[in-house]
Structure 1
Amino acid sequence: MEIVIALAFAAVVLFGADRVLLWMESRGHIHWRRKGRKDLSAEPTTELDSMLSEQPHR
């Protein structure tokens, strides 16, 4: 019986966390499920990326 209660509690916690994250997404704080992720290949590279890339030094 305790395992059923633990599973139900875990389901409630996960559902609550999902609702909080969707609420934060509607306010514009994060991207969770509805808006999807950014395409990082379209973003410009940063200085650190260019410094760490394998280019021959002159």
Structure 2
Amino acid sequence: MEIVIALAFAGAVLFGADRLMLWLEGRGHVHWRRTDRKDLSKEPAAELDSLLSEQPRR
């Protein structure tokens, strides 16, 4: 019987967390399930070397 209660509690916690994330997404704080993902092939690419190399400071 304890396992049933534990599974029901875990399900309730997951459901509550999902609803919280959807509420935060509706307010624009996070991207959870309802927003489309970015198409990374259309984003500008940056070389790892250029990001990690030291730039001369002025």
Give TM-score scaled by structure 2 length.
0.73
Superposition CA RMSD, Å:
1.6
| Paired positions, count | 50
Q: Which has the higher helix share?
A: 1
Q: CA deviation at 1:39?
A: 1.2
Amino acid aligned to 1:33: R
Determine the C-alpha separation between the residues in 2 that align with 1:21 and 1:36.
15
Large movers: runs of 4+ above 3 Å: none
Percent of aligned pairs with the same residue? 72
Answering whether residue 42 of structure 2 is matched by residue 28 of structure 1, we say: no
- 1:41 is paired with a residue whose SS is coil
Gaps of 5+ in 2: 51-58
Q: Which moved more, 1:10-19 or 1:29-38?
A: 29-38
2:38 maps to which residue?
38
Q: Secondary structure at the match of 1:15?
A: helix
